[in-house]
Every structure is written in C-alpha cells, then in structure tokens.
Amino acid sequence: MKFEPKKVRNFVVAGQSGTGKTSLCDLMLFKAKAVDRLGSVDNKTSISDYTADEQEKRSSIYAAHLTCSWKDMQFFITDTPGYGEFVGEVISGFRASDAALIAVDGVNGIEFGTARAWKFSNDFKIPRFFFVNRLDREQADFYKVLDELQEAYGKTVAIPLTIPKGKEADLSGVIDVLSDEEPPAEYKQIVEKYRSQLMDTAVESDDKLMERYLAGEEISAEEIKQGLHDAIRSGALVPVFAGSAAKDIGVEEVMDDIVNLIQTPLERYRVSADGTDIIPKEDGDAAAFVFKSVTDPFIGQMVYFRVLTGVFKANSDVINLTTGGKEHIGQMMILNGKTQIPVEEASPGCICAVAKLKTTKTGDTLGTSAECKAMSPMIFPAPVMAYAISAVKSGEEDKIMQGFAKLCGNDPTLRLERDKETHQVLLKGMGEQHLLMSVHRLKDIAKTEVHLHAPKVPYRETITGKGEGSYRHKKQSGGHGQFAEVHLRVESNPDGYEFVNAIVGGAIPKNFIPAVEKGVQEAMERGPLAGCLVEKMKVTVYDGKFHEVDSSEMAFKIAARMAFRDAMAKAKPVLMEPIMSARIMIPDAYTGEISGTINHKRGRILGMNAEEGLECIEAEVPYSEMLKFATELRSITQGKGSFEMSFARYEVVGQAVANEIIAKFQAENTEE
C-alpha cells in the first residue's frame, strides 16, 4: 500500500466531551467502507473507542488513529478525548495532524473543549473547521451556536458551508451553501447570504480574482475552491458544517469538503528545533516526528510517528535525529483503531506505528539521513493534582517504580516524583480520573497495586523577628566526656539562608564551626512548629565554650541544634504555605459559583476576562485548598470548566489556620 501525499488528508477531531466526535469518526469509517459494520460508542462496538476502559466509560480516553479511503483520497484521522484530563492525548494528536475538525454540540454551543481545540489549532498553526453536531436533539439550534462562534471567533471568519434542513427531531438533511442550486424556497435568502459571504472570502485572498469579481466577471468553481482553500489555510475562514452523526446527516458533505478544501501534507510547513523550515517533499530524505508511545502487553513498546517529509521504507535503517542514535524500522503499520495494517512505504501525512525501536521516545524525530532536521519536543501542561502513593504489598516498591516509569514514558502529563520536603512519593497528573486510570493501568502492565493518600502539604517555617538562644551540651559517660556550648542569633532574612561566624577570640575553635553550621542546618530540616523545612533567616554564631579534651564535632552539632531551637522560639516563628497561581476557564454561567468557591478557599481573585468564548478567572489560592479542586471544578461545571495552576510563592498562614495545622502535627507526633 502506497499513498500519494497530494491525495492524503490528515486531520484531528477535537472538542468537548460528548459532542459526538467518536460517533462521527465511526460513521466516516463506515461510509468510506473501511469497516463493514457501523461502530457505536453506546453499544461498545466503536472502532475508535476500542479499549475496555473506554467501552466501560462510553467515552474516549486515548487518542485513536484511524484511516480510510474516501473518493480516491486517504484520510488519516485522529479522534481525541474531549474529557479535560486527557489533554496529553489531544496535544500529541494536534502535533500529528494538518487540520482540526472541531465538534460542537448543537445545544450547548461553545464549551471548554471548543475553546481548547481552537487554542491548540492556533498553537500548532493548523487550519480548522467546525462541525455543529447533534442537531437532531431537542433545543438544538444551529443559528444560536453559529452566533456564538461568530461572536467568539469573528463574523467574517466562521461562515457556514452547510446549513440544516429542518430542526430538532425534524432535521432531515443539510443544504450545501455553495453548490445547492435550488434550495427550498424558505432557505433561499439565507443561502444567498452565506454564499455571497463565502464568495467575498474566496476572492479576498487573491487581488486579481477580486478585481474580476468586482467587475462582475464569472468566477469558476475551481477558482472559488482555490480561494476558499487558501482562506481556510490562512485561518481567514473557518467553515462551519451542520449535521447529526447519529442520523447520518451532513457528514458526507464534511468528508467531501475535507477532500476539496483542506491543505495537503505537502502544504504543511513546520519549523525545526533550530528554526529552519521543514518543507515537505514527496520523496528524498525522510523525517518523521514521534508523537506518542504505547506499551503493548504483547508486543512491548510501540512508537507512533507522523511522516513530515520524504518516504520511509519498511525494513530500513534510520537515525534518531534528536539523540543521534541508530534505529532499525522493521514492520511499519498504519492504524485503524486496534487494527494494524502493514505498509511498505510511508510518505508525508501518514501516521504509522513501529515496534522494537531501541531508544526512541515521544518527542524525538526520526530521519533517513543526518541532513534532516529534528523538531522540538511538544510542550505539555503542568500537573494539577497529586496523590501520595504507597505499595499495597510491601516489597513491591521497585515493581511499582518500574511500572510507573513506563506509564510516565508513554504519558507526558503523568509524573512520579519524590517530594524532598514531605518525603512522600507523589503521582501527579491532570485530575482524579487521570490518576485513577493510571493506577488501573499499573495493575495491567506491572501486576501490582498502590494505595492512594492525600498528599501532605509542604508547609515551611520561618521567623518574623529576631531571637537569641544558647545551649550547653555536657555529658560524662565513662572515658571521654562530651562538651560544647553555642550561643547564636537568628533574624529574618527574606533573601534566604545565611550563616555568619562572628566568634572572636576563639570561644569556639575554627575547626568546630562547620559542625555548628551542620547542627543549624539539621535543625532547619525539621522546624519546631510542624516539623517543616525552615527558611529565610540569617543565623549568627557569636559566642560559645569548648573543652580541650571533651569537645567534638558531634557535641557542637548537638549544641548548635538545640541553641537554634531556643533562638527560633523567641523570634516569632510562623508557618508558611505554598500559594498557587490558577487560571480557571469556565462558561460565563458558573462565574458566580466559582468565585464563591475561590473565596471560600482563602483565595484571591486577581482578574476576570472573556477569552475565546469563555470566562477566565485568574486567582491565587493556597495549595492545601487546591488538592481536590480538579474534582470540585468538574462537579460544579459538569465538566465544562478546566484550570491550570503553577506554584507562585510561599506566604504566611493566617493564625487560625496555622494553629490547626500545628495542633494536628503535635497530636500526630505525640501519638508516635
């Protein structure tokens, strides 16, 4: 099987969860006769949602790669999950594609998933088009959704290529705005309106065409097509289609226009990591971007790549341009859900899987010649939720680590980290479902289980005043005694930790000073209030005593540790907590409730603005209050909101809250 790049169309299907993306993909495969039976999400027979977990959930978790031929063209389709927590799959799906089909619900209109798909199309510089789906449902209203799209993305940008015939249960078909010569009388006016808007857009991209158009000359269908193609490619036009995947309405029109109007893989320019353009060619040196890797329980590690330029051949040697390593490609497969179809050659636009590469991982570029350029890796959002994990069966810690290492290698939004401050092992990801799913996967691939706990908050301690403390360590236990005395001062120092030796006249001999500092640093690892890291202070040793025979490094370390505690208690110690900067994207209707929730969480709202059809709240909230926010936001907004957060700084905890934390710590530590 070989593909001519001019006849390949590669696009990603993205948008809010439940807008019918997978149903649309199943229908496209069926119409293109890539399968003999129409797959269905609801009946657990979808070609795209083929994993047991997806069938159970009746919703996509992983991006699925599909392929079919339609009117002499080969489609490579990536169906992505709409559920916000699986965003990693969406990002790699966009990286692999030349255009985005954004599914929008005919009742709900713009939702978070719509805005996100729009943003990714911008980030990846790919043209997009909307499919307003589920128009057969009660209260579905194409024109209301169209208004929203035009409001958010531009009146002259979002223009229908098809409009619905009938509505809700009486939806009976669509009218093709450009080519339906005789639309039913009641639609004539509206068709004329959009047709003339499309004509304006089509001729705008070409001055000569524009002149002829204005002079009233005939413009050929081919010229209009080219004009629309260029306008879509530049983003000046984002066509809107109407339909219903469930009723098979408006889908063929979309498929035909994908063939007619969307850019070919040869028109998809990219920029390499060193800033030079990668201009795709039909043959010659080949390069492909590895956008994903998967651990298959039977085959082992599989990597998925998208050919950027040139032709790859099965059973050939290639170079990993990112690492410089050599690899051998054995069998190459294109994918239709779980079906793998071997191919001899892969050309621009193809999405292929290969097994058993030695060191290649997600984000690398493969090439047939060292002359080819590597692309930069993808950027994924930072995790927004964490669980502390522990082994269910002790002794399986290594197995757990290895299992998670594999999962993290395949999922760039998942991380396993040891927290230096709380000493917990944290599994971090994009939300509760994402983390639970990963733990479930661990059971599959490593046959081991973990307990999940709420993570401890890495509080810190510091002082707001100044204090002096001293301690004499003296012990006589048989032979040698132990003796050391340390006097020191602590004072607040916003710049960080500083240690000053102000001893004059040898009260503590120089060679013991490092031991004194060591003692101070040890004391700072476990503060007196709640056992947290102590920071931001200047510590000055100004006096002490020693004994010729009985003093030792150990004795000075102990004395310094105790003197430090004494001084800190007198210097107005306070507890500090991590504060997160959060950006919360929600539909307007939830602004009130989310603002209330933020206030309730001791958060501060810094600003609110409308962004791409959604409300964006910028806020700062203590980390301890955000541990479960991913889950709360989901339940408040019914999955229509999303957020990202990053560490901002430490701040002093208010007295009442601090007292609770300290009391809890002390109770736990006396129990021990």
Ligand X SMILES: Nc1nc2c(ncn2[C@@H]2O[C@H](COP(=O)(O)OP(=O)(O)OP(=O)(O)O)[C@@H](O)[C@H]2O)c(=O)[nH]1
Judged by the rule CB under 6 A, the positions of this chain that interact with ligand X are 17-23, 41-42, 59-60, 81-83, 103, 133-134, 136-137, 244-246
Q: 108 touches which of Mg ion, ligand X, none (CB within 5 to 8 A by kind)?
A: none
Cβ distance to ligand X smaller for residue 19 or 322: 19
Q: What angle do CA 311, 312, 314 make, to 5 degrees?
A: 140
Q: Is 67 in the site for Mg ion (CB under 5 A)?
A: no
φ/ψ of 639, rounded to 5, equals 80, 10
133-149 b/e (C-beta count within 10 Å ≥ 16 → b): bbbbbeebbbeebbebb
| Beta pairing partners, 270 | 278
Q: What is the smallest separation between the CB atom of 22 and ligand X, expressed in angstroms?
A: 3
Part of the chain binding Mg ion (CB under 5 A), chosen from 55-63, 105-113, 394-402, 494-502: 55-63
Question: Coil, strand, or helix at residue 349?
Answer: coil
Q: How many residues bind Mg ion (CB under 5 A)?
A: 3
Is the separation of the CB atoms in 524 and 535 below 8 Å?
A: yes
CB under 5 A: which stretch of 53-61, 103-111, 132-140, 570-578 binds Mg ion?
A: 53-61
* Those residues with Cβ within 8 angstroms of residue 459's Cβ, 6 or more apart along the chain or in another chain: 530, 532, 575, 576, 577, 653, 661
Please provide the DSSP assignment of 182-243 as one string. Answer: S--GGGHHHHHHHHHHHHHHHHHT-HHHHHHHHTT----HHHHHHHHHHHHHHTS-EEEEE-
Q: Which is nearer to ligand X, 41 or 158 (CB)?
A: 41
Least distance to Mg ion, CB of residue 131, Å: 13
Distance of CA 598 to the CA centre of its chain: 23
Question: Measured from the CB of residue 594, what is the shortest distance to ligand X in angstroms?
Answer: 22
| Residue closest to 564 by CA, chosen among 592, 585, 582, 538 | 538
Among ligand X, Mg ion, none, the one that 136 touches (CB under a kind-dependent 5 to 8 A) is: ligand X
Taken in order 28, 30, 35, 41, the sign of the CA dihedral is positive
- The closest of 643, 644, 436, 640 to 19, measured between CA atoms, is 640
362 scored as a contact of Mg ion (CB under 5 A): no
Q: Which is nearer to ligand X, 136 or 345 (CB)?
A: 136
Question: Out of ligand X, Mg ion, none, which partner does residue 19 contact, by CB within 5 to 8 A per kind?
Answer: ligand X
579 binds, among Mg ion, ligand X, none (CB under 5 to 8 A by kind): none
User: What is the per-residue burial (b if ≥16 Cβ within 10 Å, else e) of 41-72?
Assistant: beeeebbbbbeeebeebebbbbbbbbbbebee
Residue 10 Cβ, how far from Mg ion at the closest point, in Å?
18
Q: What is the 3-state secondary structure (H, E, C) of 365-427?
A: EEECCCCCCCCCCCCCCCCCEEEEEEECCCCCHHHHHHHHHHHHHHCCCCEEEECCCCCCEEE
User: Is residue 77 within a helix (H) or strand (E), and if so which, with residue range?
Assistant: strand 73-79
20 contact, one of ligand X, Mg ion, none, CB 5-8 Å limit per kind: ligand X
Binding partner of 557, given ligand X, Mg ion, none, CB within 5-8 angstroms per partner class: none
135 versus 488: smaller Cβ distance to ligand X: 135
Residue 245 touches which member of ligand X, Mg ion, none, C-beta under 5-8 Å by kind:
ligand X
How wide is the angle at C-alpha 333 spanned by C-alphas 327 and 338, nearest 5°?
A: 125
How far apart are CB 44 and Mg ion at their closest, in Å? 13
CA angle in degrees (0–180, nearest 5) for 141-145-149: 165
Pairing of strands 99-105, 128-133: parallel
Distance in Å, CB of 254 to ligand X, minimum: 13
CB nearer to ligand X: give 10 or 114. 114
- Please state the closest distance from residue 375 (CB atom) to ligand X, in A: 27
Residue 583 interacts with which of Mg ion, ligand X, none, CB < 5 to 8 Å by class: none
Q: Choosing among Mg ion, ligand X, none, which partner's interface includes residue 263 (Cβ < 5 to 8 Å by kind)?
A: none
Beta strand 537-545 with 498-501 is parallel
C-alpha to C-alpha distance for 42 and 49, rounded to whole angstroms: 10
Q: Which of 16, 19, 60, 293 binds Mg ion (CB under 5 A)?
A: 60
Residue number with CB closer to ligand X (320 or 413): 413
**15 strand-pairing partners:** 103
For ligand X, the closer of residues 247 and 466 by Cβ is 247
Name the binder of 182 from ligand X, Mg ion, none, CB < 5-8 A by kind.
Answer: none
Partner whose binding site includes residue 70, from Mg ion, ligand X, none (CB under 5 to 8 Å by kind) = none
Q: 482 is in the binding site of which of ligand X, Mg ion, none (Cβ under 5 to 8 A by kind)? A: none
Shorter beta-carbon distance to ligand X: residue 244 or 347? 244
Least Å from the CB of residue 117 to Mg ion: 13
Residue placing its CB nearer to ligand X in the complex, 56 or 593: 56
Contacts of 299 (CB under 8 A, 6+ apart): 355, 356
- Rounded to 5 degrees, what are φ and ψ at 59? -165, 150
Give the span between the Cα atoms of 245 and 46, in whole angstroms.
13
Q: Which stretch binds Mg ion (CB under 5 A): 21-29, 103-111, 269-277, 556-564?
A: 21-29
Q: Decide which of Mg ion, ligand X, none touches 42; Cβ closer than 5 to 8 Å per partner kind.
A: ligand X
- Please report how close the Cβ of residue 83 comes to ligand X at its closest, in angstroms: 5
Binds 605, which of Mg ion, ligand X, none (CB < 5 to 8 A, cut-off by type)?
none
Give least dist CB 438 to ligand X, A: 18
What is the number of other CB atoms lying within 10 angstroms of the CB of residue 480? 11
| Closer of 128 and 561 to ligand X (Cβ) | 128
Q: How far is the CB of 538 from Mg ion (least distance, A)?
A: 58
Q: Which is nearer to ligand X, 103 or 228 (by Cβ)?
A: 103
Q: Does 19 bind Mg ion (CB under 5 A)?
A: no
If the CB atoms of residues 44 and 399 are measured against ligand X, the closer one turns out to be: 44
Whichever of 90 and 575 has its CB closer to ligand X, that residue is 90
* Closer Cβ to ligand X, 243 or 578, answer by number: 243
Half-sphere exposure at residue 481, Cβ-oriented, CA atoms within 13 angstroms: 11
Q: Position of tokens 């996967």?
A: 441
Minimum distance, C-beta of residue 12 to ligand X, in the bound complex (Å): 12
Q: Strand, helix or coil at 574? A: strand
Least separation in angstroms between CB 20 and Mg ion: 8
Say whether residue 424 binds Mg ion (CB under 5 A): no
| Minimum gap (Å) between residue 41 Cβ and ligand X | 4
Q: How far is the CB of 592 from ligand X (least distance, A)?
A: 27
Which residues, in sequence order, are bridge partners of residue 579? 622, 649
Interface with Mg ion, residue 22, by CB under 5 A: yes
Q: Residue 631: helix, strand or coil by DSSP?
A: helix
Judged by CB, which is closer to ligand X: 90, or 357?
Answer: 90
Q: Cα separation of 498 and 512, whole Å?
A: 18
Binding site for Mg ion (CB under 5 A): 21-22, 60
